[in-house]
Structures are given as structure tokens and as C-alpha cells.
């Protein structure tokens, strides 16, 4: 599986994952406290500065991760343009892009094990109440791990399409992507069963 973590070492890699996740939560909430496009645009430029601080390779990798957002941004623009609410559409698009760009910085500069450790700490009160949280931790870890893999599968299918047709890739690659995702999910389920399934917190503590 492909990791979202950037191999390029930056100053943000040295910050604890808990601090970065807390900052991400606070800054994301702050984005919803203003409806001024100028303020949101300035926030987006500040996030762009974070990418620049990591160097050109880090910047290119970060922008490549965000490239998948353009269909959603285009849809927002078309809808609000058609309804005459272009400023509201601009505000939503800037919020979405800034928040996800911030989240991308966190995942690119944090190891998955560190983020899961933070999640485990946050879920500790629920375990004290007798609730099992290991499935939640595993689900979040799998989402973070499999997202770049699904993106890579889509890129390879698009390349295969271009090699066989002069037309641009279209919705026809959706079904192969779904089939690949289901096949990967089946392999992961078999691997989990081979390892005894998802242990509950009590059993995990015995290992």
C-alpha cells in the first residue's frame, strides 16, 4: 500500500502529530467564522506558503494530492454561477480547498502510527466505559492507507485507456475502479481473518 506521508523531510515532520491535529481542528473551525472571500483567500495563500516551506518536491507532491478536488470545485462553481450566487460559491470553494490543503499537510508530515497513537489516546475514555474502539482505529488507518492506492489505481486505468483509445478517459473507468477496490477489500479481509480478525482491546492487551 502507498503512504500519504511525504519522503521529503521538512520542519513540520518534527512536530508532534497531536499538536498538528489540534492545530488542524482549530484552523478548520476558524475558516467557518468568516464569509469574506478576501480573508479566505489570504488563508489559502498562507497554506500555500506552508507547502513552499517544504521545498519544490514537497510542493509538487502536495499539489498532486489536491488535484483530485478540481471536479468538485468545478461543480460548485457551475451550480452557484447558474443560481447567481457566485460569492457564496467562491466562499465554499475557498473553505473546502483551504481545509483539505491543511489536512494534506498534516498527513504528508505525520506517520500513520503517530496519528493512530493520538486517536488511541482520544478514544481512551470510551474504552474506560467498556466500548471497543479497535475497529474504529483500524477503519481510520485503512482509509488513510487506501486513499492514495485508489488514486494510483485511477491514474493507471486512465493511462491504460489513453494507450488504447484517442479519446479522453471518461466514466467508463469507474466500474474497473470499483472492481479493483472490491478485490483489494477482499484481500484485506482474508489477511485479517488469517491473523485472527479484529482483536478487542482486552485481547490485544494480552499480546
- Distance in angstroms (rounded) separating the CA atoms of residues 108 and 176: 28
Residue 136 and residue 117 share a domain: no
123 DSSP 8-state letter: T
**Grid coordinates 478540481 are at which residue?**
70
* Number of domains forming the structure of the chain: 2
State whether 111 and 191 are in the same domain. no
Same-domain status, 60 and 99? yes
Q: Note whether residue 127 is domain-resident.
A: no
Q: Tell me the pTM.
A: 0.65
Identify the pLDDT of residue 187: 78
Is 6 a domain residue? no
Question: Domain residues for 22?
Answer: 11-121
pLDDT in tens, 66-100: 877 777 777 887 787 777 788 888 888 889 899 98
Neighbouring C-beta atoms of residue 147, cutoff 10 Å = 16
At 204, the pLDDT band (50, 70, 90 cuts) reads very low
What does the pLDDT average to over 141-159? 75
Report the distance separating Cα 109 and Cα 11, nearest Å. Answer: 9
| pLDDT band at 1; cut points 50, 70, 90 | very low
- Domain boundary at 73, 98, 121, which? 121
Grid coordinates given for 52: 513552499
Q: 165 vs 19, 64, 79, 170, 175, CA distance in Å?
A: 48, 25, 31, 11, 17
The single-letter DSSP state of residue 190 is: H
**Is the predicted pLDDT of residue 136 greater than 80, yes or no?**
no
Same domain, 141 and 180: yes
Amino acid at each position: 500500500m502507498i503512504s500519504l506521508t511525504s519522503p521529503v523531510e521538512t520542519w513540520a515532520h518534527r512536530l508532534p502529530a497531536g499538536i498538528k491535529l489540534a492545530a488542524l481542528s482549530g484552523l478548520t473551525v476558524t475558516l467557518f467564522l468568516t464569509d469574506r472571500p478576501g480573508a479566505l483567500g489570504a488563508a489559502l495563500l498562507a497554506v500555500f506558503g506552508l507547502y513552499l516551506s517544504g521545498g519544490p518536491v514537497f510542493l509538487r507532491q502536495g499539489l498532486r494530492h489536491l488535484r483530485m478536488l478540481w471536479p468538485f470545485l468545478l461543480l460548485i462553481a457551475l451550480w452557484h454561477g447558474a443560481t447567481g450566487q457566485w460569492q457564496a460559491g467562491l466562499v465554499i470553494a475557498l473553505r473546502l480547498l483551504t481545509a483539505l490543503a491543511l489536512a494534506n499537510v498534516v498527513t504528508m508530515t505525520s506517520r500513520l502510527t503517530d496519528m493512530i497513537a493520538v486517536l488511541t489516546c482520544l478514544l481512551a475514555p470510551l474504552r474506560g466505559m467498556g466500548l471497543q474502539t479497535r475497529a474504529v482505529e483500524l477503519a481510520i488507518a485503512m482509509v488513510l492507507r487506501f486513499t492514495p492506492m485508489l488514486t494510483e489505481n485511477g491514474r493507471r486505468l486512465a493511462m491504460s485507456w489513453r494507450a488504447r483509445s484517442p479519446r479522453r478517459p471518461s466514466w467508463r473507468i469507474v466500474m474497473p475502479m470499483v472492481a479493483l477496490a472490491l478485490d483489494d477489500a477482499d484481500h484485506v479481509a482474508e489477511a485479517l481473518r488469517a491473523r485472527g480478525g479484529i482483536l478487542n482491546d482486552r485481547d490485544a492487551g494480552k499480546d
